[in-house]
Amino acid sequence: MKNFKEFDEVINRYGTNSCKWDECREACGNKDILQLSVADMDFKSPKEILNKMHKIVEHGIFGYTMFPESFYESIVNWYYKRHNWKLEKDWVLYSPRVGIGASLIIQNMTEKGDGIILQTPAYPTLTEVIVKNERKLIENPLVLKNGKYKIDLSELEKQIDEKTKMFILCNPHNPTGRVFSLEELSEITKFCKKHNLIILSDEIHSDLVFKPNKHIPIASIPEAQEISIVCSSITKTFNLPGVITSNMIIPNKEIREKVKKILDVAVIHNPNIFAAGITEVAYNECEYWLDDVLDYILENKNYLKEYLEKYLPKLKLIDSEGTYLSWIDYRELGIDGKSLQKLFVDEAGVNVYMGEHFGDSGKGFIRVNLATPKSIIEQFLTNVRKVLKDK
């Protein structure tokens, strides 16, 4: 049994300008309750990354920064080691956030009114970059069958036309935790090639996959390589979302040059002071930490599953293959989302994301963040069990 003492530590995050804790406390009526909604971890990042940040701070000069060759090499080496994908460093472009990159691409590579396909339920930002840019959202709902979500493209042909330009993929999928198979990704690729669609793939959770499942970058599939843009980052992997840094990996030179110009026009040139240095350290020195944190999250997931089956059988855990997010079906309770959320916040003292946050196809579900000390998961379950004992 590994020693998970560092992940067991409960760290008070209130008063740190935390979206997960401070902002959500305000949304919950300024109650100090357990926050299990926003997708970041309640764990300190690896010590090697913290040490690198300290060195940068101690230097004391925070001038404009650039990306050295070693930055690109760390990404290339990571993808080959972790995902068996031999990419070229020229394929890598910098974007502050996945959402920023996606929005800029949609603004500049599609027209208002163009159709963009998105598999739902979906991480809200992916919906917003379509809708807020005045593009047509074409939903392709994942189908829940025998406790597992599966893709279903059978009705999609009827929904698209010549103005449909893009397929947004989220893999591993947020919020359901699916890690799509080669067969599924090949089916999506075949559909997109048939209809001349660009694949914009949000793969920010790509490193957070439970064995024996494996993440397959869409652009590593030969047939998909020329039509794919892969968005990734160290931020979910090593709990660094506040640093604001991400990459776009684009093998197709023509698409890559278009995106380069888009970024240039948006004046996205220099990363923040930490981005390059900690990316290198993360990918070169911190794989051990990722393996440990995945083991810990898996233990939390297994504990959650066993507890629900024993004490809260009307709550059904959808067995995820990746991410640190659990997707739970509460439809057997016969309670609507607003009522259940009020019950959770006011009586159980816990806050999670209700399924409606992810669109209409998320109704009847909740998303719970498992990247937190086990004691918080235990307290969450104890509190929920008390308020649902008569339901």
Structure tokens at 153: 């493209």
Please return the burial class of 195, using the count of CB atoms within 10 Å of its CB with bins 0-12, 13-18 and 19+. middle
Cβ neighbours of residue 215 closer than 8 Å, sequence gap 6 or more: 83, 171, 172, 179, 203, 206, 207, 209, 322
- Using CA atoms, how far apart are residues 387 and 391, in angstroms rounded to an integer? 8
297 with 371: CB under 8 angstroms?
A: yes
Q: Is the four-CA dihedral 31, 32, 34, 40 of positive or negative sign? A: positive
pLDDT per residue as tens, the chain (391 positions): 466 889 999 999 999 999 999 898 888 888 889 999 999 999 999 999 999 999 999 999 999 999 999 999 999 999 999 999 999 999 999 999 999 999 999 999 999 999 999 999 999 999 999 999 999 999 999 999 999 999 999 999 999 999 999 999 999 999 999 999 999 999 999 999 999 999 999 999 999 999 999 999 999 999 999 999 999 999 999 999 999 999 999 999 999 999 999 999 999 989 999 999 999 999 999 999 999 999 999 999 999 999 999 999 999 999 999 999 999 999 999 999 999 999 999 999 999 999 999 999 999 999 999 999 999 999 999 999 999 987 6
Q: What domains does the chain contain, in order, with CATH numbers? A: 5-46+287-387 (3.90.1150.10), 64-285 (3.40.640.10)
Cis peptide before 172 (omega within 30 of 0): yes
Cis peptide before 121 (omega within 30 of 0): yes
How crowded is residue 117: how many other Cβ atoms within 10 Å of its Cβ? 27
Q: How far separated are the first and last CA of the chain, in Å rounded?
A: 37
